Chains A and B, each alone.
Chain A
């Protein structure tokens, strides 16, 4: 860690934006910009897990796709291990994709139903023309073992696997090219609790064994807290708070984060004993974002400045950033909305 090379983050995302033009006429003209991702910046260290949380439509999945360039970013840069991904043309991008792989919520939708499990895991080797046939077979077998699938399952088809096994298969395929970064977009959301625990533990174990970095995108705060070292909270395309996982949960600085945490049902809150400042209303239309802070219409603490001026993400504590005019110092009682857990 003390050496500068080791300390350089693996992934650096700088002011990344993805805007969609919607409602444009057939021949151009008209149209409004939907700022799905609006200038987000963060980094992920080697062997680190960065969790991106937020509600539907906040832009977290689009951010993941833009980093992988599965969708072209509108602005901003992504650097992976010093290589500017956003500047690459098609062929070098293809080569760089070996270093960053994705796993998705529904492995069934991302696994070819006509291919056997072994062929699915072998496919990346074919795509990248890697290894001899013999070595490929050995590597596929090793990957099966690594993710906890049995050798006798290699010739089965995706529909013959349970949800948890399919996610293991998706992970095996993602790991085939020995990536440095794995982006998981709701990788355990569709799984039942007992199976979810198996897959989470597998991901944690693989990270330790392979020194992987994870960008873990999910809406489930408890899952994100468990797996992440640091967390970014997104609201309407922006990161509104970023800190170490425990800091976000113990001392949330942004009113949105506080309300998000307070909304989570927990065993600590028995019926009627809830002290939840329930988040009133729903997020505004991303096509017509409010002026000033995007959260101000739902924020109980909003003042005139919040309606006029967009708050920038700024330091409110050691390694703790929040985009709120009122955060930091003595302006906010950070514990007021947080639910005590555990």
Chain B
């Protein structure tokens, strides 16, 4: 733990100006991920998991958005202090990102070859020919057969799974220190998803790239990550090693998510009757007017006056297992996956 982590986000805050006022989409977010490690970031729509990543890459449109504070350290170097020109040298090079829908990330009028080769020419100073050779090599790396023909094709000629492989090839061309994968398999069928997740694991073993895996899918995280961060309404509410999170979650929101998931909940009673899924009542708060105190309090079965008044700080309840809750660990966890 002497070398700095591959990526360390410290106290990051990102705001957006909206018609209803200032929305604090990311509120004092911190996490770090080391070489060869996969960190899972989970949470529901609007919790700030993607905005955190986009802020780290300085891809937040300004206005309406702005990074209001914090540091983003890539191997110790604060990306928020770089000039835009310096930042362009970093993106796609030392840190890469892949998104849910590769079709919107790929340029529809350029061939696959042009799009992968561009990276090598831009960041590695390769000649056109060398960059195309490198592109073919990258396609082989992501297990796309018949590489030379594929290089000549356009994105629409590929299937969804194939396009995501191309995006991974582009992202990994420069052997980045950090790969941020934002819902990389959400749009894919489950059999293709399995192939892509396996591919990411395989490539990480080869290159040591740190992976930040952003997803709403708890099962994906359980299978991919070593550590997991749970976000709610712009804040980190729990962080734990993956087994601890699934076996002994501390925050009532995490407990609720696991019990609400048909994948983890016990669906049938002994007599075969269907057991209702646990519900988390209500909806997420508006970020322009978050509740004072704990942001989960209005939906929390354990909430009391203190929770509604005073924001709980993150504290370490067990080694490496952090939660921001006045009643951490008090939520009875259903035997959701014996």
Residues of A within 8 A of B (CB): 55-56, 162, 164, 192-198, 200-201, 204-205, 219-223, 225-227, 246, 259-260, 262-272, 274, 276, 278-280, 282, 341-342
Residues of B within 8 A of A (CB): 38, 44-45, 159, 161-162, 189-195, 197-198, 201, 216-220, 222-226, 242-243, 246, 256-257, 260-268, 274, 276-281, 283, 337-338
Chain B residues in 8 Å Cβ range of A274: 198, 223
Chain A residues in 8 Å Cβ range of B260: 193-194, 196-197
Chain A residues in 8 Å Cβ range of B243: 270
A204 to B273, CA, bound (A): 12
Closest 6 CB pairs of A and B: A197-B260, A194-B280, A263-B194, A222-B263, A55-B189, A197-B277
Chain B residues in 8 Å Cβ range of A196: 260
Chain A residues in 8 Å Cβ range of B192: 282
Query: Across the two chains, which residue of chain A brings its CB closest to B281?
Result: A198
Give min CB distance, A191 to chain B, whole Å: 9
Give min CB distance, A272 to chain B, whole Å: 8
Determine which residue in B192, B216, B263 has the highest number of CB atoms from chain A within 10 A of its CB, and name it: B263
- By the criterion CB–CB under 8 Å, are A225 and B194 in contact? no
- By the criterion CB–CB under 8 Å, are A200 and B226 in contact? no
Given A164-B283, A204-B274, A342-B266, CB of A264 within 8 Å of CB of B224: no
Q: Select A342's contact among B224, B274, B338, beta carbons within 8 Å.
A: B338
- By the criterion CB–CB under 8 Å, are B277 and A201 in contact? yes
A268 to B247, CA, bound (A): 11
A194 to B283, CA, bound (A): 8
- By the criterion CB–CB under 8 Å, are A271 and B226 in contact? yes
Q: Select B189's contact among A56, A222, A225, A262, beta carbons within 8 Å.
A: A56
Determine which residue in B191, B217, B280, B338 has the highest number of CB atoms from chain A within 10 A of its CB, and name it: B191
Given contacts A264-B194, A266-B222, A267-B219, 16 further A-B contacts (CB under 8 A): A194-B256, A194-B279, A194-B280, A198-B280, A219-B190, A220-B262, A222-B261, A246-B268, A266-B219, A269-B223, A270-B242, A271-B38, A274-B198, A278-B198, A282-B159, A342-B267
Query: Across the two chains, which residue of chain A brings its CB closest to B274?
Result: A204
- By the criterion CB–CB under 8 Å, are B191 and A279 in contact? yes
Determine which residue in B38, B190, B260 has the highest number of CB atoms from chain A within 10 A of its CB, and name it: B190
A342 to B262, CA, bound (A): 11
Q: Select B194's contact among A193, A195, A278, beta carbons within 8 Å.
A: A278
Determine which residue in B159, B219, B242, B338 has the highest number of CB atoms from chain A within 10 A of its CB, and name it: B219
- By the criterion CB–CB under 8 Å, are B193 and A197 in contact? no
A181 to B310, CA, bound (A): 49
Query: Across the two chains, which residue of chain B brings its CB closest to A223?
Result: B262
Chain B residues in 8 Å Cβ range of A225: 262, 267
Chain B residues in 8 Å Cβ range of A193: 44, 216, 218, 257, 260-261
Give min CB distance, A190 to chain B, whole Å: 10
- By the criterion CB–CB under 8 Å, are B191 and A197 in contact? no
A75 to B193, CA, bound (A): 34
Chain B residues in 8 Å Cβ range of A192: 44-45, 216
Determine which residue in A56, A193, A274 has the highest number of CB atoms from chain B within 10 A of its CB, and name it: A193
- By the criterion CB–CB under 8 Å, are A342 and B337 in contact? yes
- By the criterion CB–CB under 8 Å, are B262 and A200 in contact? yes
Query: Across the two chains, which residue of chain B brings its CB closest to A53?
Result: B190
Chain A residues in 8 Å Cβ range of B338: 342
- CB pairs A–B below 8 angstroms (13 shown): A55-B191, A192-B44, A192-B216, A195-B283, A198-B280, A200-B277, A204-B274, A226-B262, A226-B277, A227-B274, A267-B218, A269-B222, A278-B195
- By the criterion CB–CB under 8 Å, are A55 and B276 in contact? no
Chain A residues in 8 Å Cβ range of B201: 271-272
Query: Across the two chains, which residue of chain A brings its CB closest to B260?
Result: A197
Q: Select A264's contact among B190, B257, B278, beta carbons within 8 Å.
A: B190
Chain B residues in 8 Å Cβ range of A200: 262, 277
Query: Across the two chains, which residue of chain A brings its CB closest to B160?
Result: A56
A12 to B223, CA, bound (A): 40
A282 to B162, CA, bound (A): 10
Give min CB distance, B215 to chain A, whole Å: 10
A198 to B262, CA, bound (A): 12
Give min CB distance, B334 to chain A, whole Å: 12
- By the criterion CB–CB under 8 Å, are B274 and A226 in contact? yes
Q: Select B223's contact among A262, A266, A279, beta carbons within 8 Å.
A: A266
Given A204-B276, A222-B261, CB of A270 within 8 Å of CB of B223: yes
Chain A residues in 8 Å Cβ range of B278: 197
A46 to B266, CA, bound (A): 25
Determine which residue in B38, B161, B267 has the highest number of CB atoms from chain A within 10 A of its CB, and name it: B267
- By the criterion CB–CB under 8 Å, are A221 and B190 in contact? yes
Query: Across the two chains, which residue of chain B brings its CB closest to A220?
Result: B262
Chain A residues in 8 Å Cβ range of B45: 192
- By the criterion CB–CB under 8 Å, are A263 and B190 in contact? yes
- By the criterion CB–CB under 8 Å, are A162 and B226 in contact? no
Chain B residues in 8 Å Cβ range of A164: 283
Q: Select B276's contact among A56, A201, A270, beta carbons within 8 Å.
A: A201
Chain A residues in 8 Å Cβ range of B265: 226
A223 to B217, CA, bound (A): 13
- By the criterion CB–CB under 8 Å, are A270 and B190 in contact? no
